[in-house]
Amino acid sequence: MPTSKTVSALVTETEQGTHVFDIFGYSKQKGRGLSHYLCSGKFSVGGHYWIVFLRPDGVRFRRGIDNNYIAAGLVLASRDAMLRASYELRLINPITGLSVPVHKVAPREFYFNKDSPPHRNLDFFAQKRSVFETLAVIWEDRLTMECIVTVIKEPTRPENRFLKLWCRRRTSQSTLPGYWKKRRGWMSLSV
């Protein structure tokens, strides 16, 4: 009884990058209202541009504005882009250089074009002000954030490679009886 076994693969690759956002004179940026954002410069990960942002003057919840919270997050700044990505935002202790995780996002879709609904190109979260403004994080009026972005690329399916072999009729008829007539002396082997 003839048996066969086939194998295929789907390969998903990722690209990861880290951006450090230093805010010098942090206390001078507070008190400017909910519409004021502190934004990093653009940086590239996975062939797309990103911006880290922080809003130090509270968060608007359904129950109203709460000044005990800070909003922060990540924005996809590349136009006409649709991709999956995850990120982790950390605060860096300026004395020790160690980072403390503040927020981690599982892979999700980011897309940005003229037809996309609002906020599909960004992800943000609210965190208690006490987490951001501890003595271990702010030193000499400086706040340092680290954002690790992982872009998940579209999966690829490696193509099978075929090797053509020439077989003589006499030797191959006994080993490949049904295939010989169909292939006329050529056969393909997946390598």
The ranges assigned to domains in the chain are 14-152, 159-191
Confidence check: pLDDT of 141 > 80: yes
CATH architecture designation of domain 14-152 = Sandwich (2.60)
Own/partner pairs for 116-121, CB < 8 Å, 24+ apart? 121/75, 121/76, 121/77
Give the burial class of 30: count Cβ atoms within 10 A of its Cβ; 0-12 exposed, 13-18 middle, 19 or more buried: middle
Portion of the chain with pLDDT greater than 90, in percent: 37
Q: What is the mean pLDDT of residues 88-102?
A: 91
Tell me the pLDDT band of 188, cut-offs 50, 70 and 90: very low
The 3 state secondary structure assigned to the chain is CCCCCCCCCCECCEEEEEEEEEEECHHHHCCCCCCCCEECCCEEECCEEEEEEEECCCEEECCEEECCEEEEEEEECCCCEEEEEEEEEEEECCCCCCEEEEEEEEEEEEEECCCCCCCCCEEEEEEEHHHHCCCCCCECCEEEEEEEEEEECCCECCCCCEEEEECCHHHHHHHCHHHHHHHCCEEEEEC
Q: What is the mean pLDDT of residues 47-76?
A: 89
Give residues with Cβ within 8 angstroms of 117, minimum separation 6: none
pLDDT tens sequence across 6-48? 888 888 899 999 999 999 998 898 888 777 889 999 999 999 9
pTM score, two decimals? Answer: 0.74
